[in-house]
């Protein structure tokens, strides 16, 4: 259910605020009038006096709010220096009008005692001052909302800018590591290098088609990973294995492009494995997280790495999901990437 906005400056909402205010100001008169009615002492004079008081407070408050929130802003431009002068003069004129309306119209509604002008004058001054306080509360709340909205827009634009900067690093990062792998293959086996180049070109078509996307489905990422794993197997055969265990209902979840590729690439790059001791990387989904895990079999020698992989993925998750990447390091190395449920059901 949508929360009611008390500080809305719509005509209807200002009328509602003024009505509640009129009832509050005239609470004592209302109670006295009801009390007289229950004792059979109420008459037309009492009714008119009570009704007149409620209506006067209502219209005083409503017109004051409308005048200051809707009419006055149209009288001056935003660049005008002395807006407050017009505001003060306008409210003095409006207040004087209310006092005159009360003084002359009250004599027609009920027997108005003109000798008690000063108490009435003081009372209507209080009514008008409180109306102005209500106006200022609504005005400051509206300004606060506008400032908050502007801040949110600036934050959103900043996040978009940061995300674009991170995405600009992803492709060079992937290319850098792919070329390192290709360079190693050329020295070992030219035929494997040729197959690797074919798969690499297919992968880059995928990257180029998704480079402007912030999110893709897990199904699309897995399709890409199948080709990427083939690249790894060209070099390592059965020494490196990826086991995917993801239910069909999770394939429609959304993930930043190349997230899974990055984690598998890190596993291949930072671990030592052989035919006698192969590396098994498992990929699954748990509680709206993509979980990539493998045993720690760390290489002892130098590893060519830019160091931007996990850092960029962490930043992307914070920007896109407002959730952190979870890294667990014990006998296994496990990374949990937050997923987003897609609004479109996966078929």
> How far is Cα 305 from Cα 287, in angstroms, rounded to an integer?
31
Domain 168-338 falls under CATH 3.10.20: no
Q: What is the CA radius of gyration of the chain?
A: 36
pLDDT band, residue 68 (cuts 50/70/90): confident
- Which has the minimum average pLDDT: 1-10, 43-52, 191-200? 1-10
DSSP string, 177-202: HHHHHHHHHHHH-HHHHHHHHHHHHH
Helix (H) or strand (E) segment spanning residue 240: strand 240-245
pLDDT-derived band at 27, boundaries 50, 70, 90: confident
Confidence of residue 346 (pLDDT cuts 50, 70, 90): very low
Q: What is the mean pLDDT of residues 104-132?
A: 70
Is the model's pLDDT at 305 over the cut of 60? no
Is pLDDT at 339 greater than 80 in this prediction? yes
Whether the CB-CB separation of 282 and 290 falls below 8 Å is answered with no
Measure the CA–CA gap between 138 and 257, rounded to whole angstroms: 45
Task: Give me the pLDDT at residue 345, please.
Answer: 46
* Confidence at residue 70, expressed as pLDDT on a 0 to 100 scale: 82
pLDDT value at position 80? 56
Question: At what angle are helices 218-236 and 259-270 packed, to 10 degrees?
Answer: 20
Range(s) for CATH 3.30.565 in the chain?
168-338
Residue 289, pLDDT > 90, answer yes
Residue 238 has pLDDT above 90, yes or no: no
Predicted TM-score (pTM) of this structure: 0.51
pLDDT tops 70 at residue 43: no
223 pLDDT exceeds 90?
Answer: no
Could you give the residue ranges of the DSSP H alpha helices within the chain?
11-25, 27-38, 44-66, 83-109, 117-188, 190-210, 218-236, 259-270, 309-321
- Residues 223, 228, 231: CA angle, nearest 5 degrees: 140
Arithmetic mean of pLDDT, 48-68: 85
Most confident of 102-116, 176-190, 222-236: 222-236
Percent of the chain with pLDDT over 90: 13
Pairing of strands 332-338, 326-329: antiparallel
Strands of the 279-286 sheet, one edge to the other:
240-245, 279-286, 289-295, 332-338, 326-329
């Amino acid at each position: 259910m949508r929360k009611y906005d008390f500080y809305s400056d719509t005509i209807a909402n200002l009328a509602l605020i003024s009505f509640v205010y009129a009832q509050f100001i005239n609470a004592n008169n209302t109670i006295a009038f009801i009390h007289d009615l229950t004792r059979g002492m109420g008459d037309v004079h009492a009714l008119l006096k009570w009704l007149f008081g409620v209506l006067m407070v209502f219209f005083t408050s409503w017109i004051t709010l409308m005048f200051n929130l809707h009419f006055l802003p149209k009288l001056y431009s935003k660049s005008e220096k002395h807006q407050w002068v017009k505001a003060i003069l306008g409210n003095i004129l409006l207040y004087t009008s209310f006092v005159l309306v009360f003084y002359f119209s009250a004599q027609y509604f009920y027997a108005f005692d003109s000798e008690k002008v000063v108490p009435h004058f003081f009372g209507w001054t209080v009514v008008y001052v409180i109306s102005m306080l209500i106006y200022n509360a609504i005005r400051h709340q509206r300004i606060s909302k506008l400032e908050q909205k502007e801040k949110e827009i600036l934050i959103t634009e900043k996040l978009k800018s940061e995300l674009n900067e991170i995405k600009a690093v992803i492709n060079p990062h992937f290319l850098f590591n792919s070329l390192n792998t290709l360079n190693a293959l050329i020295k070992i086996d030219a035929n494997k290098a040729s197959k690797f180049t074919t798969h690499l070109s297919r992968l880059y078509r995928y990257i180029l088609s998704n480079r402007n996307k912030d999110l893709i489905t897990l199904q699309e990422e897995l399709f890409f990973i199948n080709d990427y794993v083939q690249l790894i197997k060209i070099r390592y055969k059965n020494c490196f294995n990826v086991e995917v265990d993801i239910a069909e209902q999770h394939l429609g979840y959304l993930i930043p492009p190349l997230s899974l590729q990055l984690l598998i690439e890190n596993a291949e790059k930072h671990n030592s494995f052989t035919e006698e001791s192969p590396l098994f990387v498992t990929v699954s989904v748990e509680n709206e997280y993509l979980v990539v895990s493998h045993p720690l079999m760390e290489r002892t020698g130098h590893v060519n790495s830019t160091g931007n992989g996990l850092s960029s993925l962490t930043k992307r998750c914070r920007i896109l999901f407002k959730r952190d990447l979870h890294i667990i390091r014990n006998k296994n190395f496990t990374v949990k990437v937050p997923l987003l449920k897609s609004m479109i059901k996966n078929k």
